[in-house]
Amino acid sequence: MDEEYDVIVLGTGLTECILSGLLSVEGKKVLHMDRNDYYGGDSASLNLTQLYRKFRPDQAPPAELGRDRDYAVDLIPKFIMASGELSKILVHTDVTRYLEFKQIAGSFVYRDGKISKVPSTEMEAVKSPLMGLFEKRRAKKFFEFLQGWKDEDPATHQGVNLDKDSMKAIYEKFGLEPGTQDFIGHAMALYLDDDYKTKPAREAYERIVLYTSSMARWGKSPYIYPLYGLGELPQSFARLSAIYGGTYMLDKSIDEIITDADGKFVGVRSGEETVKAKQVVGDPSYFGAGKAAADGGKVRVLEEGRVVRAICILKHPIPGTEDADSAQIIIPQNQVGRRNDIYVAIVSSTHNVCAKDVYVAIVSTVVETDRPEQELAPGLQLLGPVYDKFITVSSLYTPTSDGTSDNIFVTRSYDATSHFETVVEDVNRVWKAAVGKELVLKKREVEAEA
């Protein structure tokens, strides 16, 4: 390890692996390390042995769950928006070569004690019990307005200024009922709380457009999912990095982040070895997250909230989902008297993540009280009998600085959103700080083929 690198990357979560891959393609000499003996960090998918070792160190996985190799249980519940930013990166880097995707079969929303399908076609919308007849007409006008919007053509604006007017004002303009607003803001724009309503409507508009264009790509739901679990994503970007010369070391303890007298990054110490680089990029767990005092007394990350997640193993699909092999269910906060939505994400053997006839559901929400597990109750109730359940409460960390002053670039924790859009935002943020320019995706030259 006496070589010197351009960048050391710590942790093999998806954010770090995308960065590592893109940096290697850019020609940087990258050393990528992880303290675990597996890829993925907090965004890993675990087999049964790893899952029980993590949550129940003194219990072996029950034999009736089947073969270890059939399992890839995600630690965080996220899906890929079909037309979102992660899809674009996958295509541009050609990492799609290493992966196979399937659709998530349905998207559902909870209302008045029942779950209903989020319409994926006009036919479904007409039949949907989510709105009455008159409300459907009003909603149709609203969507036609959004679809027709052209920034450069004021005639399409109907007097609305997306950068000034609030979403609340637009809902009112079209006379939409509170239930419809919930549906649009939470099931389509995928906001976790209602803060968006009072902000300029531009962002909500963009989110709705992303949702509808993702939905239009393959139908059924706006989401796709990689076979063998989300953990395939970081591994695929790690391979991209390796192909472009990135060096990989798993199972390495990271004992010290070494800085010079000015606090600037010098290198990383692992046991007796020290390896130097110009910059370091890493997830919060390598920079003092959860510790009272960080290395050298410098606080590099702050907790900005917590997420509670329950990984549930089921032996049946979720009731009311038409036996979907995979689905998202959104419980809007209003419906259950909360500030933040509760999400349920379910996948199954169709996605090669568990044995046949087993389903893996993750119920999650942003923690609001000092009894996080109880906050999940409305989601857990939808599942029916749960075979086994693993609860995690994770802090969401955010870096205290952008890293440009000390060459230490810390990524953010995986948030409570249902997709990877914020992960890509973080990739863009770190890239800009570390490389000094905006990330521009170029279609990669495909490797030599015979």
Partner 1 sequence: MSKQFQFKLVLLGESAVGKSSLVLRFVKDQFDDYRESTIGAAFLTQTVSLDDGTTVKFEIWDTAGQERYKSLAPMYYRNANCAVVVYDITQTASLEKARSWIRELQRQADPSIVIALCGNKSDLSARRQVSQEEAKKYADEEGLMWGETSAKSGEGVADIFTAIAKKLPLTAPPSARGGAARPGASGKPGGVDLNKQANAAGANEPCNC
Contact between 273 and partner 1 by CB under 8 A: the answer reads no
Stretch that binds partner 1, among 243-251, 258-266, 305-313, 424-432 (CB under 8 A): 243-251
Instruction: Figure out which of the listed residues 42, 182, 194, 232 binds partner 1, where binding follows CB under 8 A.
Output: 232
Per-residue DSSP letter, 319: T
Q: For the chain, how are helix, strand and coil distributed in percent, rounded to 5?
A: 35, 25, 40
Q: Could you say whether residue 103 binds partner 1 (CB under 8 A)?
A: yes
Q: Does 236 bind partner 1 (CB under 8 A)?
A: yes
Tell me the C-alpha distance between 14 and 78, whole Å. Answer: 12
- Is residue 129 a contact point for partner 1 (CB under 8 A)? no
Residue 244 binds to partner 1 (criterion: CB under 8 A): yes
Token pair listed for 187: 């099931």
Please report, as residue ranges, which positions from 187 to 206 form the binding site for partner 1 (by CB under 8 A).
Answer: none
CB neighbour class for 261 (10 Å; exposed up to 12, middle 13-18, buried from 19): exposed
Residue with Cβ nearer partner 1 (43 or 236) = 236
Q: Is 186 in the site for partner 1 (CB under 8 A)?
A: no
Query: 387: closest CA among 281, 319, 313?
Result: 313
**Minimum distance from CB of 397 to partner 1 (Å)?**
25
Give φ, ψ of 397 to 5 degrees: -105, 145
Among 56, 134, 206, 216, contact with partner 1 (rule: CB under 8 A) = 216
Q: Residue 422 has which token pair?
A: 């914020």
Q: Classify 175 as helix, strand or coil.
A: coil
Nearer to partner 1, 121 or 381 (CB): 121
According to the binding rule CB under 8 A, does residue 75 interact with partner 1? no
Yes or no: say if 222 and 82 are a contact pair by the CB < 8 Å rule.
Answer: yes
Interface segment toward partner 1; rule CB under 8 A; list 92-100, 108-116, 185-193, 313-321: 92-100
CA–CA separation, 393 and 416 (whole Å): 11
Give 185's DSSP letter. I
Give the nearer residue to partner 1 in terms of CB position, either 38 or 387: 38
Residue 316 interacting with partner 1 (CB under 8 A): no
Binding of residue 127 to partner 1 (CB under 8 A): no
Please report whether residue 359 would count as binding partner 1 according to CB under 8 A.
no
Q: Which region, judged by CB under 8 A, interacts with partner 1, from 202-210, 226-234, 332-340, 405-413?
A: 226-234
Distance from chain centroid for Cα 437 = 24
Contact 41, 11 (CB under 8 A): yes
Question: Which residue reads 């960048």 in tokens?
Answer: 7
Other Cβ atoms less than 10 A from the Cβ of 111: the count is 19
Binding residue for partner 1, selected from 15, 20, 43, 87, defined by CB under 8 A: 87
Count of residues in the chain:
450
441 binds partner 1 (CB under 8 A): no
Q: Can you tell me which residue has the tokens 């089921």?
A: 314
25 backbone dihedrals φ, ψ, rounded to 5°? -60, -35
Is 243 a residue that touches partner 1 (CB under 8 A)?
yes
Q: Three-state SS for 164?
A: coil
Which stretches within 200-293 are classed as H helix? 202-218, 232-243
Q: Which of 98, 145, 149, 390 binds partner 1 (CB under 8 A)?
A: 98
- Are the C-beta atoms of residues 204 and 176 closer than 8 Å to each other? no
Instruction: State residue 147 phi and psi, 5-degree precision.
Output: -65, -35
Q: Which stretch binds partner 1 (CB under 8 A): 99-107, 295-303, 380-388, 402-410?
A: 99-107
Among 350, 395, 398, 400, binds partner 1 (CB under 8 A): 350
- Nearest residue (CB) to partner 1, 236 versus 334: 236
Closest-CA residue to 256 (of 222, 229, 280): 280
Q: Which stretch binds partner 1 (CB under 8 A): 84-92, 107-115, 132-140, 407-415?
A: 84-92
Identify which of residues 293 and 450 has a Cβ nearer to partner 1 in the complex.
Answer: 450
By the criterion CB under 8 A, which residues form the site for partner 1? 39, 68-69, 82-83, 87, 90-91, 96-103, 105, 120-121, 124, 213, 216-220, 224, 227-228, 231-232, 235-236, 238-239, 242-245, 247-251, 325, 350, 447-450
